[in-house]
C-alpha cells in the first residue's frame, strides 16, 4: 500500500505540473478542473464494483444466505475502498505539498546538481529503496 501512495503522489505531481503548463495565463478554475478529473478517474471504475456488490449482496440475501455471512463477505470485498478517501485527500493537497517541497530547496545556495543530489539522498534515507532514479531539470529562473 505505501508504494501505491508513493506512486500516486508522483503521478499527481506530474499531472498537476502538466495542467499548469497547459493552462493559459490568467485562466481560472485550473485546480478545480484538475482535481475533478482526478476524482473522476478514481470513482469511475469503483462505482460499477460497488453496484455489483450491492446487487450480489441483495441476491445472496434473497437466496436465503445468512445476513451475517453476506455482511462479512461484503465488508471483506469492500475494505480496500477505504484508501480512496485517503488518496483523494493526498490528491487534493498535491499542489500545495509539491510547491512547499520544491520551494524548500529554492534558497539552498547550492549548485543545481548539489540540490538534486541532496533531494535524492534525503529521499533515499527516508524511504530506503532498493534503487532510486531521479532527474533534475534546471530552468533559467533558477527553480528546480
What is the 3 state secondary structure string of 45-99?
A: HHHHHHHHHHHHHHHHHHCCCCHHHHHHHHHHHHHHHHHHHHHHHHHHCHHHHHH
Mean pLDDT taken over the chain: 82
Instruction: Summarize pLDDT for 25-53 with one digit per residue, the tens.
Output: 888 888 999 999 999 988 888 888 888 98
pTM reported for the whole predicted model: 0.59
Q: Are residues 9 and 79 in the same domain?
A: yes
**Radius of gyration for the chain, computed over Cα atoms and rounded to the nearest angstrom:** 21
Q: Which pLDDT belongs to residue 114?
A: 74
Residue 99, in any domain of the structure: no
- pLDDT band for 1, please (50, 70, 90 cuts): low
> Do residue 14 and residue 77 come from a single domain?
yes
Q: Are 87 and 5 in contact (CB under 8 A)?
A: yes
18 and 83 share one domain: yes
Task: Please state the domain count of the chain.
Answer: 2
Report residue 60's pLDDT band, with 50, 70 and 90 as the boundaries. Answer: very high
Q: Is-contact 118 110, C-beta < 8 A?
A: yes
9 part of a folded domain: yes
Q: What integer pLDDT is reported at residue 40 of this predicted model?
A: 92
Same domain assignment for residues 18 and 64 = yes
Q: Which residue is associated with the grid cell 530506503?
A: 128
One domain for residues 19 and 90 = yes
Range of the domain at 74: 2-94
Residue 90 has a pLDDT of 85
| Exposed / middle / buried, residue 59 (Cβ in 10 Å: 0-12, 13-18, 19+) | exposed
C-alpha cell of residue 27? 485562466
* pLDDT above 90: percentage of residues in the chain: 17
The answer to whether residue 142 scores a pLDDT higher than 80 is no
Q: What is the DSSP letter of 42?
A: H
Amino acid at each position: 500500500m505505501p508504494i501505491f501512495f508513493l506512486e500516486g503522489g508522483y503521478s499527481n505531481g506530474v499531472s498537476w505540473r502538466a495542467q499548469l503548463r497547459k493552462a493559459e495565463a490568467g485562466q481560472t478554475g485550473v485546480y478545480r478542473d484538475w482535481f475533478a478529473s482526478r476524482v473522476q478517474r478514481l470513482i469511475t471504475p469503483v462505482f460499477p464494483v460497488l453496484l455489483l456488490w450491492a446487487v450480489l449482496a441483495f441476491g445472496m440475501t434473497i437466496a436465503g444466505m445468512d445476513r451475517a455471512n453476506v455482511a462479512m463477505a461484503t465488508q471483506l470485498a469492500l475494505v480496500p475502498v477505504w484508501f480512496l478517501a485517503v488518496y483523494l485527500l493526498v490528491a487534493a493537497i498535491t499542489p500545495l505539498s509539491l510547491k512547499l517541497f520544491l520551494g524548500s530547496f529554492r534558497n539552498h545556495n547550492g549548485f543545481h546538481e548539489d540540490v538534486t543530489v541532496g533531494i535524492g539522498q534525503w529521499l533515499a534515507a527516508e524511504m530506503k529503496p532498493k534503487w532510486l532514479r531521479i532527474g533534475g531539470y534546471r530552468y533559467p529562473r533558477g527553480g528546480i
